Each structure stands twice: as C-alpha cells, then as structure tokens.
Amino acid sequence: MVAFPEPKMVKTNGIELAVYEAGPKDGIPVVLCHGFPELAYSWRHQLPALGAAGYHVIAPDQRGYGRSSRPAAITDYDMEHLTGDLVGLLDAYGLKSAIFCGHDWGGLVVWQMPLFHPTRVRGVIGVNTPFIPRGPIDPIAAMRAAFGEDMYIVYFQKPGVADAALAKDVRKSMRFFMRKSGMKAEDYAKLPAEQRNLALVKALEADETTWGGQGAQLLTEEELNYFVRAFERTGFTGGINWYRNFTRNWEKSDGVVQKVNVPGLMIMAEDDIVLSPAMTEGMEQYVPDLEKALIRDCGHWTQQEHPDQVNTIMIDWLKRRFIGPA
C-alpha cells in the first residue's frame, strides 16, 4: 500500500478542508481535485511522484468529503462554492496561482476555474473529464430526456433517496464503483439505448451475482478499507449534493465566456464509458492551447488504474510548460 500523509486542516471560504501535501513548499503548486465517490486518497500515487519531481502538491478532501466540512444546504455545493474553496486554499497558502488537475467531478471544477478565477490559474489538467461548454438547455432536463429517470445523475436529484441506497452497505457500494472497465467503450456505444441508460443505483441495488458486465476489482483490500471507513463515517450526501447543483450552475453561468485561456492537458481513458475520449472532440475550440494524451485499456478510475502512465504524462507536460515559482 502507498504511504499516505496525515492531512492539514485549512480554513477556506467559510469551511475547513483536509489537505494532503507532498513536495517542496517552494515548488510550483499543483492542486489535485478528486471526483465521486472518491477522496484525496485517490491521488495516493500522484502525490509522491509529483512531489519527488519538485512540485508542491496539494490534494484536498473536497467540500462534503472525508475529513472536510460538510455543509447541510444543497446550494452550498454549487460551482461558486467549489471554485471558491480552491481560491481560498491558494490564499491560505499565500499562493498567487496554481496548476489545477481534476478527475471526474474534480475535472468539471478545474475547467471552470479559469472561467471564474482566471488570474489564479496557470494551467489545467483534465483526467477523463473534458471541458464541457455551457449547453442551450438545463443539463438535467437534457439528461432526463435522453436517458430517463433512472439515469444516475437524474436519480441523484431526489433528496435522500440515492444517499440512503449508497449508504445502506458502503462496502458493497465501493466494490460496485471501484472497478476496471467491463467492456471497451466502442462496444458499449453499440449497445441498445435501454442498456446505456446508466441506471447505476438500480444496478447497485441488485444482487452482486448480476454484476457480470462489471470489470475486475480495482483496489486492494487495504485501499478499499480506506474508502469504506471514510464513507461509513460521512455517508454520500455531501458528494451527491454536487450533482444537485447542475441546474443551478447552468443558470448562474449564463453569459460566462466559454474560453480557457491557459495551457490545458487532457488525459483520456480509452474505455471510460461515461467520460469517453469522443467527448474531447472539438475541445480546442474552447481550450486553444491544448495537448491530449490517451491511456489505452483503461476505465474510469485512471489515476488509480494506470498511475505510472498518468504520472509520466503529467510530469512531462508540467516540465515542458511551466518554469519558476507561482
């Protein structure tokens, strides 16, 4: 098991974040932002590698997760709060700017950072999550129309329902989510629409013997236990509340120019069926200074499934594109 540091509690934006660090304090700062249902621990392979390469690595348990604050109000998890937490984190460290790297939901947040806080961002790395420009209609309405009520993001909109389903047996929930891809993304795309409705909560609630289409377990028992202990203590509501702000975020971003004016790196996973490489097509229109890298035979949990490749790609890009202190 990779050694993981104890966190430092940092006051930011009216809350406290548990922050895990590596590398020299005078190194170029790189902030790692996890997704759902994850923790800063998801970056356990990146912290030591980036730290050894000379970067000041900062990985928070984000708002609603792990040892960080979990406000009660759903509206406290909108994009304004999530990006504000990261700005406050820089302020707490006395940093003018940083490079932000995000996976899954963390990716959505870091791509929004240069839109809302352009002076605080030196570069952005998206792991699986591309820059997704603001659409013409409410994204929840669009997902409901395309996939139906059982699609997991639509299902998450009902307060308390998915929260209870996931918390009923945390170990089962984490075993369900934390797996390698069960099929190639190109094969998934050929399935009938009714088999692509992403009804993940319904699948989770079924008996494990029906999970035949799922891939192999990703985590060791020790790693699984780390996640299980955390979510048994906190539940899943904090993380699910991020999803409950899709409509609010869409409404509040009206008029925001959809252009990322800092260098971007897009790390794609060949077999992520939710965030497929195909979603990155045309990104250059919104992120003009963009490099892409594809990791083959890789599912959704890229930085945990192929950590060495992720580390190599990140460090190569960072060393070529950024020199000097923040």
Active site positions, annotated: 104, 300
Q: What is the DSSP letter of 129?
A: P
Strand partners, 59: 20
Q: Identify the burial level of 156 via C-beta atoms within 10 angstroms of its C-beta, where 0-12 means exposed, 13-18 middle and 19 or more buried.
A: buried
Which helix H or strand E contains 250, and what residues bound it? helix 246-252
Residues 6+ apart with CB under 8 A from 134: 250, 253, 254, 256, 258
Q: Is 290 helix (H, G, I), strand (E, B) or coil?
A: strand
Query: Tokens 């998206």 — which residue?
Result: 126
β 290-295/121-127 pair status = unpaired
For residue 150, what are its two tokens?
A: 């059982």
Reported as half-sphere exposure (CB side, CA atoms, 13 A), residue 150 has a value of 12
Q: Name the DSSP letter for residue 142.
A: H
> What's 127's DSSP letter?
E
User: Between the CA of residue 46 and those of 109, 124, 283, 312, what are the distances in Å?
Assistant: 19, 16, 25, 10
Pair type for strands 264-269 and 98-103: unpaired
Torsion of CA 216, 203, 238, 94, to 10 degrees: 30
As given in the structure block, the two tokens for residue 311 are: 């580390």
Residues in the chain: 326
Q: Cα separation of 245 and 148, whole Å?
A: 18
Of 25, 47, 178, nearest in space to 92 by CA: 25
User: Given the DSSP bridges, would you call strands 121-127 and 98-103 parallel, antiparallel or unpaired?
Assistant: parallel
